[in-house]
């Protein structure tokens, strides 16, 4: 029998050792924790939305107008077999409907409630480290819906707090 392991056996032993070592180290060691965000625009203003706060992103969905007392209610739309109210995010943020000629073409479904929010443009998905989140200056809040500011290489802007937006719709 051969005393020296073959090249394949030696490589298998190295891989086995590396695999086992991966379970022995604490999770996340050597890696910065990152949070996934969507970079969007409401009119011309950039915002970020946490991916954990939404359950879907859609473009060019047909929205059927319905009468309603809420000025931001655009109508209803069907998503995966459910009828969901669609609200205009720019109006919720305090922009006037006449401030933009563009009809919002993008929609996100909130994870916490069956509500869709319409906005102007989806830019990109970004990942931000914990250090990229800063407290938002209190004077610059968009109707209290932004509590943090995000700064990465690819994005700089306020972070929308969707639970606050949903509370405003309920009120």
* pLDDT value at residue 3: 53
Rg, C-alpha atoms of the chain: 23
Residue with tokens 């932004």: 146
pLDDT tier for residue 123 given thresholds of 50, 70 and 90: very high
| Predicted confidence (pLDDT) per residue in 13-61, tens digit | 888 887 777 666 666 555 567 899 999 999 889 999 999 999 999 999 9
* pLDDT value at residue 163: 93
Domain residue extents for the chain? 34-170
Identify the residue with better confidence: 161 or 5: 161
141 has pLDDT over 80: no
| Predicted confidence (pLDDT) per residue in 52-109, tens digit | 999 999 999 999 999 877 889 999 999 888 999 999 999 999 877 555 556 889 999 9
118 has pLDDT over 80: yes
Do the bridges between strand 106-110 and strand 54-59 make them parallel or antiparallel, or are there none, so unpaired?
Answer: antiparallel
Cα-based distances in Å from 88 to 63, 68, 84, 156, 162: 11, 13, 13, 23, 13
Identify the residue with better confidence: 30 or 133: 133
* pLDDT value at residue 112: 92
* pLDDT value at residue 27: 60
CATH architecture, range 34-170: Beta Barrel (2.40)
pTM of the model: 0.75
- Residues 115 and 109 sit within 8 Å (Cβ to Cβ): yes
Q: Cα 4 to chain center, whole Å?
A: 54
Residue with tokens 């209610």: 73
Identify the residue with better confidence: 85 or 141: 85
* pLDDT value at residue 73: 93
pLDDT tier for residue 142 given thresholds of 50, 70 and 90: low
* pLDDT value at residue 171: 80
pLDDT tier for residue 149 given thresholds of 50, 70 and 90: very high
């Amino acid at each position: 029998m051969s005393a020296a392991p073959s090249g394949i056996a030696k490589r298998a032993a190295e891989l086995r050792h590396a695999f086992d070592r991966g379970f022995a180290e604490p999770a996340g060691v050597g890696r910065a924790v990152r949070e996934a965000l969507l970079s969007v625009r409401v009119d011309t203003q950039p915002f970020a939305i946490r991916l954990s706060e939404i359950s879907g992103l859609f473009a060019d969905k047909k929205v059927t107008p319905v009468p309603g007392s809420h000025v931001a209610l655009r109508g209803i739309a069907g998503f995966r077999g459910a009828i969901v109210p669609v609200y205009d995010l720019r109006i919720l943020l305090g922009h006037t409907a006449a401030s933009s000629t563009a009809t919002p073409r993008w929609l996100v479904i909130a994870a916490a409630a069956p509500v869709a929010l319409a906005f102007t443009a989806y830019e990109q998905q970004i990942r931000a480290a914990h250090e990229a989140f800063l407290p938002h200056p209190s004077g610059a809040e968009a109707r209290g819906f932004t509590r943090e500011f995000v700064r990465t290489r690819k994005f700089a802007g306020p972070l929308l707090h969707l639970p606050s937006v949903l509370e405003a719709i309920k009120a």
